[in-house]
Amino acid sequence: MAHIVTPWEVKGTIDYDRLVQEFGIIKLTSADLKRIERITGELHPYLTRGIFFAHRDLKWCLDEYEKGNKFFLYTGCGPSGPIHLGHLGVWRFTKWLQDAFGAEVWFQFTDDEKFLFKDLSYEEVQKWTHENMLDVIALGFDPKKTHFLIDTMHAGIMYPEAIKVAKKITFSTIKAAFGFTDSNNIGSIFYTSMQTVPVFLPNVLRHEKKPCLIPLAVDQDPHFRISRDVVEKLGHHKPAILHSVFMPPLVGMEGKMSSSDPDKAVLTTDDPATVKKKINKYAFSGGQATIEEHRRKGGNPDVDIAYQWLRYFEFDDQKLKKIHDDYKSGTLLSGELKAILIGKINEFLAEHQKKRKQAEKIVDKFLN
């Protein structure tokens, strides 16, 4: 099945090379990675493993950084349900960028978006906004350098800028980009303006002109393809972007993990028994039908979800390689591979859930 990738729908087997063409984004090269490593002294495994695979204007952003014009980071969350491990990939990487480059983070919670696009009440979206903020805080963002923007709460500073953006985007541009029709509600047509504002809001508030770097998964790129032209017309820099692939759902490599189907995702609030049950029951295996056959032929890590997910959680390259090779040769069985993943995720979630509880006390620090 041909892929579909929009901010609201991701389907099929994603052909990332084709996406690069379709979206007009640029693949990260080993020279790009070397340059990042030269500046930061280390590389995050999500870069070396190709999980972050493409960019827009990264070279310019790093040129400015080296000239002393440091970028700020901007990313976000659409609060429509619980957080799953797929979201965490982008945000853990953002936190690494914050530490590695000493950058400020502007984190947008698009409660307006989720109210307008989903069958959820305003109150339900507010509840998810609060819950989702706890997950973001639990990842360890520096409260002194991290600012949350909740679209409805911060409308007073965002709306004057959003209308400036909106005035430069026509309905036909939005229709062409997202396939909207006359039956889409008028709020959804306006929405891209709100997601554009944080690209330059910090500069407006501080009378500065710093570059903005946006880490995201590639489904969010279509908004910024529109924004990049518009913000330039408004006298701001185009944002630079780093694009991640999708963490696949439990059931196989098609589409993306999503919280609308909790059996196909692991949520940050799942307890150890639930994690174990979900992975053992649903994780698509690249192993053979019988143990004998597996020992003889070996498994296929490229389609095995337990292995694919381990790439997000086992940061030790040597350990990961041994697991890969042992699985491929048939030494490691599918059940054993799943057990390694379950251990790794439960270890991560135990810590995350502890920090998530503590986050309740410091939410205000991020909202000023």
90 or 320: CB nearest ligand TYM: 90
Residue-level length of the chain: 368
Contact flag: residue 241 with ligand TYM (CB under 6 A): no
Rule CB under 6 A: say whether 252 interacts with ligand TYM.
no
> Does 246 interact with ligand TYM (rule: CB under 6 A)?
yes
- Residue ranges of E strands in 71-138: 72-77, 105-109
The CA angle 37-40-45, to the nearest 5 degrees, is 60
Q: How far apart are CA 125 and CA 56, in angstroms?
A: 31
Q: Which is nearer to ligand TYM, 113 or 333 (CB)?
A: 113
Q: Is 115 in the site for ligand TYM (CB under 6 A)?
A: no
Would you give the DSSP letter of residue 4?
Answer: E
Type of residue found at 250: L
Which residue in the set 76, 222, 239, 301 belongs to the binding site for ligand TYM (CB under 6 A)?
76
Nearest residue (CB) to ligand TYM, 239 versus 330: 239
Shortest Å distance, C-beta 132 to ligand TYM: 8
Report DSSP letters for 276-295, one per residue. HHHHHHH----S-SSHHHHH
120, 165, 214, 283: which one binds ligand TYM (CB under 6 A)? 214
CB 108 within 8 A of CB 151: yes
Question: What torsion, rounded to 10 degrees, do the Cα atoms 61, 62, 67, 69 define?
Answer: 40
| 24 or 335: CB nearest ligand TYM | 24
The neighbouring-strand residues paired with 27 are 54
> Smaller CB distance to ligand TYM: residue 80 or 346?
80
What one-character DSSP code corresponds to residue 220? Answer: G
Closest separation in Å from C-beta 123 to ligand TYM: 19
Q: What's the start-to-end Cα distance of the chain, in Å?
A: 46
Give yes or no for residue 288 binding ligand TYM (CB under 6 A): no
247/152 Cα distance (integer angstroms): 29
Residue 338 CA to residue 320 CA, distance in Å, equals 13
Q: Which is nearer to ligand TYM, 162 or 332 (CB)?
A: 162
Q: Does 77 bind ligand TYM (CB under 6 A)?
A: yes
Contact letters for ligand TYM, residues 7-46 (x by CB under 6 A) = x---------------------------------------
Binding site for ligand TYM (CB under 6 A): 7, 74-78, 86-87, 89-90, 108, 110, 113, 195, 214, 216-217, 219-220, 244, 246-247, 256-257
